[in-house]
């Protein structure tokens, strides 16, 4: 078992709720920063006790809006994590930020706290689109925040959302060309999806707007793939693009099915062959910390078959794909894919295969869920004296 470990820290608060968002984010009139620092540090100490001797490769502050965290809390989490684990020499520390002026003013302090990679939620360069998305910043604020971020952080990424109602190939290619000219080495480009339970979902149900049709969405996805590839930031995952070597090491840990500890409300973790889930509601999380010294609501052992299937689902998102044989061996299970079906999808141009390694083609990437449903083989545990990694601790 590798000793590498990633750490995810969830900050659950936002200034307002965006209508498309289904993340664990909450709006509160006031936040007791000291109480939250103590709670996160207690939750972190719990994970550190469970995971001694690991090498820490990345920390990711996500949310919610972690740029609303007191920079001293960010510094404290980083410092304790570095003390508890053996930090890799190139430890990647990412923080997600919203680009309004108040948060941009903290970038210098966040950099001094140890953050070395900023992921900025620009979402659009157009004020009308930002209003539609319910964002709390203007296009101008976005530009200024990006400029400030590039001054303070060596690695900067930003997010854009495309396939908004009314988007065309012309409008999106102009936006993307602008994005690619800004000199960042990583971009996250998400197609707008209408998630159940969001304000957008009820607006669509009431016919207050119509999502962009699927064919246009697919055309914009293909355009995105081609333009980012030509600009030297090819997709390394369905929605993520980077120059070589500038991929998010933290997110690669998820997709390559490495171990990660998750702390903070609603954070998920996967370590010691177990899936951990924290209490989602901030108040419930704080009471769990007071009661138990950690925020866990559920710790469930993954069966080898579940772990192998998850590794397939996560790994196929990556352009590099997966080594199906290596996953089967790692979790001591039988075939994780139906090879006959894989070969049919290779023949139809949706997958590539080199021995046990399979990956989606550009056409396949548009049909990820359907392809997964078709090729998953329900792996059977093998009887073996060898302890599968998922159960090793």
Instruction: Calculate the alpha carbon distances from 58 to 11, 50, 109, 384 in Å.
Output: 17, 18, 19, 34
Which is closer to ligand SF4, CB of 27 or CB of 205?
27
Q: Which of 21-29, 290-298, 318-326, 334-342 is the region at the interface with ligand SF4 (rule: CB under 6 A)?
A: 21-29
Which is closer to ligand SF4, CB of 268 or CB of 357?
268
- Contact between 23 and ligand SF4 (CB under 6 A)? yes
- Contact between 17 and ligand SF4 (CB under 6 A)? yes
Residue 41 three-state SS: helix
Rg (CA), the chain: 21
- Contact between 64 and ligand SF4 (CB under 6 A)? yes
- Are 61 and 11 contacting, i.e. CB atoms less than 8 angstroms apart? yes
Residue of the chain from 14, 263, 286, 366 that contacts ligand SF4 (CB under 6 A): 14
Q: Is the peptide bond before 222 cis (omega within 30 degrees of 0)?
A: no
Task: For the beta carbon of residue 28, count every other beta carbon within 10 angstroms.
Answer: 12
The residues, ordered by sequence, that sit 6+ positions from 383 with a Cβ below 8 Å of its Cβ are none
Return d(Cα 257, Cα 271) in angstroms, integer.
10
Return d(Cα 121, Cα 157) in angstroms, integer.
9
Q: Rounded to the nearest whole angstrom, what is the least distance from the CB of residue 314 to ligand SF4 in the complex?
A: 22
Residue 85 Cα to chain centre, angstroms: 22
Which is closer to ligand SF4, CB of 15 or CB of 80?
15
Site for ligand SF4 in 86-125 (CB under 6 A): 98, 121
- Contact between 143 and ligand SF4 (CB under 6 A)? no
The residues, ordered by sequence, that sit 6+ positions from 36 with a Cβ below 8 Å of its Cβ are 11, 69, 73
Backbone dihedral region of 273: left (phi > 0), alpha (psi from -120 to 50 degrees) or beta?
left
- Contact between 144 and ligand SF4 (CB under 6 A)? no
Residue of the chain from 4, 21, 116, 363 that contacts ligand SF4 (CB under 6 A): 21
Q: Which of 19-27, 40-48, 217-225, 358-366 is the region at the interface with ligand SF4 (rule: CB under 6 A)?
A: 19-27
Q: Rounded to the nearest whole angstrom, what is the least distance from the CB of residue 96 to ligand SF4 in the complex?
A: 8
- Contact between 63 and ligand SF4 (CB under 6 A)? yes
Residue of the chain from 44, 56, 61, 65 that contacts ligand SF4 (CB under 6 A): 65
Orientation of helix 71-84 relative to helix 33-50, angle to 10°: 10
- Contact between 346 and ligand SF4 (CB under 6 A)? no
- Which residues would be at the binding site for ligand SF4 (CB under 6 A)? 14, 17-18, 21, 23, 25, 63-65, 98, 121
């Amino acid at each position: 078992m590798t000793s590498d470990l990633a750490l995810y820290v969830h900050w659950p608060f936002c200034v307002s709720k965006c209508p498309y968002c289904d993340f664990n984010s909450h709006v509160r009139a006031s936040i007791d920063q000291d109480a939250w620092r103590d709670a996160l540090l207690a939750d972190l100490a719990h994970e550190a006790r469970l995971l001694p001797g690991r090498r820490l490769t990345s920390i990711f502050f996500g949310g919610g809006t972690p740029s609303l965290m007191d920079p001293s809390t960010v510094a404290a989490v980083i410092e304790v994590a570095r003390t508890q684990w053996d930090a890799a020499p190139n430890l990647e520390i990412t923080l997600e930020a919203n680009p309004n002026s108040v948060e941009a003013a903290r970038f210098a302090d966040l950099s001094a706290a140890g953050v070395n990679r900023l992921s900025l939620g620009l979402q659009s360069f157009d004020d009308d689109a930002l209003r539609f998305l319910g964002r709390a910043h203007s296009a101008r604020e976005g530009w200024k925040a990006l400029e400030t971020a590039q001054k303070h952080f060596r690695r900067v990424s930003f997010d854009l959302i495309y396939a908004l109602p009314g988007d065309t190939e012309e409008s999106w290619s102009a936006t993307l060309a602008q994005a690619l000219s800004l000199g960042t080495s990583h971009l996250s480009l998400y197609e707008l999806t209408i998630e159940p339970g969001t304000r957008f979902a009820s607006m669509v149900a009431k016919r207050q707007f119509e999502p962009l049709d699927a064919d246009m969405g697919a055309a914009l996805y293909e355009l995105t793939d081609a333009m980012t590839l030509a600009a030297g930031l090819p997709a390394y995952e369905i929605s993520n693009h980077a120059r070589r070597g500038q991929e998010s090491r933290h997110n690669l840990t998820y997709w390559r099915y490495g171990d990660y500890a998750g702390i903070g409300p609603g954070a998920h973790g996967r370590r010691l062959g177990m899936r951990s889930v924290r209490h989602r509601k901030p108040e419930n999380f704080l009471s769990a910390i007071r009661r138990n010294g950690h925020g866990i609501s559920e710790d469930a052992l993954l069966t080898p078959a579940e772990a192998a299937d998850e590794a397939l689902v996560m790994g196929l998102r990556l352009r590099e794909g997966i080594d199906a044989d290596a996953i089967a061996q790692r979790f001591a299970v039988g075939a994780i894919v139906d090879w006959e079906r894989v070969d049919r999808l290779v023949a139809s141009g949706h997958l590539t295969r080199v021995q046990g390694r399979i990956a989606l083609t550009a056409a396949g990437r548009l049909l990820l869920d359907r392809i997964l449903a078709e090729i998953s083989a329900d792996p059977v545990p093998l009887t073996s004296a060898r302890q599968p990694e998922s159960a090793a601790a």
